[in-house]
Structure 1
């Protein structure tokens, strides 16, 4: 595993230190951009509602699934910490979809997803090490470069990254919750699951040449223009784990024959007036969950929470 000297003392028992090193590696890769996220720096904020299905209430006692539609704030984003990255650049994938559900009883639920089929690494330490390897793999790096060595030692990483793609619109891409969570019903019955957000209009992926030919801001500009004309909808699905499916390793996708439960419909209706101001104040935390939804044993959940908190603190200064 590739590490720099500062990472040698970190361990799974010290997630805050690992998170600090992760953000430091991102800053080294992408530069300092005050007021912006360390990763997924470029995005657009929109609003709408989530209407739960009848099935959702049988799977979870969370009020967000109880029946009435609830308002949502949603942020779509490009990958990297570069606020001006062209939307069609390969590095801008995977794209992100983060949602804040606001139930009538005052509870909230945050969901953080991206367009990868599964995640490249299984732990926060491995994600940090991947970033460090990239920082050491410039044009003058000796072959095999540190990132080539990392990929060879983590064969799921290049497979995961190969699933990244550029859509014709943020509204025409499927987003996956690569981390496992747990639905808890009124009787205390628990079901591990992973989110899947599927565009009702269908997925539409561009070729590399088509993406390159697009304007630098075509995704963040197209979505508000689309919403000014019509609503955008996603089916909200829960892929239910079967016995033996790993909930703690996000590099392992569950088989496609697993049950896909219908949780409801996400309907987006308008862009916020000032997306840049709105996104600076927004914090999506994977562990911000209501009674009826719980974290699993996936270590990446806490790794994300730690890193997001550091990034939020820095952009809020």
Structure 2
């Protein structure tokens, strides 16, 4: 198989490798000690590599998750939400803007492509005081690498692997030394019937604090009330290139698309600063509320080109963990946003 990024290696590994290789933008600054002009930092290198792999740049589009659709609705918190956090949007219903997306920097990527999963969801909560806060999640529980440097190394391994690369190829060498990435690669990622029938996971932990001052680390889970539904092989073979983008507006005309947002609680000793470490399913969850999506954005294509989500745009009652992936992501987002808005 000749994928968008890898035209080499074993076909099934290649397809899944790509799916895992372009999930999120990550970053941390690196300055050359003996130069007056700073060396490109990790976030810029990641964006550069993603753009090359996507055969871009594509003017006006994100370096990753370029293809998407924007809808609006309401988040209504549960009675239990304030017991976890005093965050404003856990106290009363608020408007939301939500963007669903396909990974990679290719804005014409077919929705049913093996390279189109994991998908993304970004949720913006409009707070009563006029502020905003965001959640950014993907449709896979776990991340392939633990830090920005390894993410860049993963992308570099993908771009360095050629059809005639000797065995083991750079991609194979990377997977052999990074078991979480290998696990991510081989895990099934079936194509969903709809964005509204797909679960999403927060791979980074946050520290939630309630009005009593009690704190608890947790990760988001976003589950469709319609249940998880995937295309069968026959449906997959017939799926149109934009089937997810076309299906969602039709679904919204019939009824709201709803999700339950929950927080999976960390147990004592659980790792909270490494997205490659998946917590057991038996960890308790607190339902935070229901996301009800009702309306397509007036001009989805135009609005998403200016929307810039930020998982560290937080409010009182929610704080970041020490996860280096989480702390670094907004730095690379800023590089992508700057280039997108400047047309470069």
Give the alignment's TM-score, normalised by structure 1. Answer: 0.93
Q: Tell me the equivalent position of 2:158.
A: 134
Give secondary structure in 2 for the equivalent of 1:110: strand
8 Å CA contact 1:38–1:81 kept in 2: the answer is: yes
8 Å CA contact 2:28–2:43 kept in 1: the answer is: no
Partner Cα separation in structure 2 for residue 209 and residue 194 of structure 1: 35
1:99 aligns with 2:123: yes
1:119-130 matched pairs, under 5 angstroms:
119-130=143-154
1:42-61 matched pairs, under 5 angstroms:
42-61=67-86
Give secondary structure in 2 for the equivalent of 1:54: coil
1:244 aligns with 2:260: no
Shift of 1:141: 2.0
Shift of 1:14: 3.2
1:291-306 matched pairs, under 5 angstroms:
291-306=316-331
1:146-184: CA deviations, max 9, x gaps?
Answer: 111111111111212324331010000000000111111
Q: Among 111, 115, 118, which residue is 1:87 paired with?
A: 111
Q: Tell me the equivalent position of 1:169.
A: 194
1:64-88: CA deviations, max 9, x gaps?
Answer: 111x210000000001110000000
Shift of 1:201: 0.3
Q: Tell me the equivalent position of 1:181.
A: 206
Partner Cα separation in structure 2 for residue 28 and residue 62 of structure 1: 40
1:227 aligns with 2:252: yes
1:198-213 matched pairs, under 5 angstroms:
198-207=223-232, 210-213=235-238
Shift of 1:211: 2.3
Q: Which shifted more, 129-138 or 44-53?
A: 129-138
Shift of 1:209: 5.3
Shift of 1:308: 0.8
Shift of 1:12: 6.0
Q: Which shifted more, 147-156 or 205-214?
A: 205-214
Q: Tell me the equivalent position of 1:273.
A: 298
Q: Which runs of 5+ in 1 are unaligned?
A: 1-10
Q: Tell me the equivalent position of 1:14.
A: 30
Q: Which runs of 5+ in 2 are unaligned?
A: 1-26, 32-39
8 Å CA contact 2:29–2:42 kept in 1: the answer is: no
Give secondary structure in 1 for the equivalent of 2:250: helix
Partner Cα separation in structure 2 for residue 18 and residue 227 of structure 1: 40
What root-mean-square deviation, in Å, do the aligned CA atoms of Structure 1 and Structure 2 show?
1.5
Q: Tell me the equivalent position of 2:132.
A: 108
1:189-243: CA deviations, max 9, x gaps?
Answer: 1110000000000000224553242000000110011111210000001000001
Partner Cα separation in structure 1 for residue 233 and residue 65 of structure 2: 20
Q: Tell me the equivalent position of 2:37.
A: none
8 Å CA contact 1:117–1:163 kept in 2: the answer is: no
8 Å CA contact 1:196–1:236 kept in 2: the answer is: yes
Ranges of 4+ aligned residues in structure 1 off by more than 4 Å:
none
Partner Cα separation in structure 2 for residue 232 and residue 310 of structure 1: 32
Partner Cα separation in structure 2 for residue 12 and residue 282 of structure 1: 23
Structure 1 residues 54 and 61, CA gap change in structure 2 (3 angstroms): same
Q: Tell me the equivalent position of 1:23.
A: 47
Partner Cα separation in structure 2 for residue 224 and residue 309 of structure 1: 30
